[in-house]
Amino acid sequence: MTTRFIYGFHAVASRIRQRADSVVEVYLDTSRKDGRARDMAKLAESMRVRVVQVDGGRLDGMAGGGRHQGVAAKVELVELATSLDDVLDKVSGPPLVLVLDSITDPHNLGACLRTADAAGVHAVIAPKDHAVGLNATVIKVASGAADTVPYITVTNLARTMRELKERDIWIIGADGEAETAHFAPGLDRPLAWVLGAEGEGLRRLTRETCDELRRIPMAGGIESLNVSVATGVCLFESVRQRSGK
């Protein structure tokens, strides 16, 4: 059995509610006697998950220096999907995919996963290299979304994008220099949004592999949005257009 530590109230509570059978133990800081800690203990005990009282130093070690808020859990690794084909073969209706190019900040990736979950994204795709991966900070920031949205890493992002095209999935890259605005019609089809790191944007080959580029109109003095904010803007415009249809 392969295990890892997750931490933070949202991440731990979400895992208990969604997959209590995968939670080995929950660890609570002995110094926390507040209602939030009591509620966490009650939740774990109601799902027959063992609760262990530990000191803050031990929690610091489990969290690797991250802000654990006084709670951590040892959990089994949950494999949501083994491949992109496994995900897309089971989708009913037009797929909605998020492709993240070179996102190295764990807080940005966690926020993108949380947004993807809220928007009903079927899979998030990212390169194995030049990307942060699902570490403990990402899981905490994602607030449970890391356990609900398949996060698939690939060795060759451009090749994977071409495979999406073979499935008749239209690929739109977010690019500040594009002529078309993000809210133009056409987002109700099978679709993959591609977003790059803030400032750097999409890599050249990633950009060239897209079917279309769109920009988020910016009225102020800044040139770009944080990638997690841009992800929300693009994905929920897709949701809006699909809802209208």
Pairing of strands 123-127, 50-54: unpaired
Please check whether residue 202 is in contact with residue 178, taking contact to mean a CB–CB distance below 8 angstroms: no
Q: What angle is formed at CA 124 by the lines to CA 223 and CA 190, rounded to 5 degrees?
A: 90
CATH superfamily for 3-76 is Ribosomal protein L30/S12 (3.30.1330.30)
215: Cβ–Cβ under 8 A, 6 or more apart, which residues? 174, 175, 176, 177, 178, 179, 180, 181, 182
Length of the chain measured in residues = 245
pLDDT in the model for residue 30: 94
pLDDT in the model for residue 81: 66
Rounded to whole angstroms, what are the CA distances from 27 to 31, 36, 38, 40?
12, 14, 12, 10
- pTM attached to this predicted model: 0.80
- Cα separation, 245 vs 243, in Å, equals 5
| Residue 2's pLDDT band (cuts 50, 70, 90) | confident
Compute the half-sphere exposure of residue 78: CA atoms within 13 Å on the CB side of its CA.
23
In the chain, the amino acid numbered 99 is V
Q: Which helix (H) or strand (E) holds 233?
A: helix 227-244
Q: Which helix (H) or strand (E) holds 62?
A: helix 56-63
Third-level CATH fold of 84-244 = Alpha/beta knot (3.40.1280)
- Cα separation, 57 vs 65, in Å, equals 10
The whole-number average pLDDT for the span 12-17 is 90
The whole-number average pLDDT for the span 198-226 is 90
Q: Where are the domains of the chain?
A: 3-76, 84-244
pLDDT in the model for residue 82: 66
- Cα separation, 206 vs 117, in Å, equals 24
pLDDT in tens, 184-209: 999 999 999 999 987 778 999 999 99
Rounded to whole angstroms, what are the CA distances from 16 to 41, 78, 110?
11, 13, 19
- Cα separation, 171 vs 153, in Å, equals 18
pLDDT in tens, 44-89: 999 999 999 999 999 999 888 788 999 999 998 776 666 889 899 9
Rounded to whole angstroms, what are the CA distances from 110 to 74, 79, 135, 201?
19, 17, 9, 18
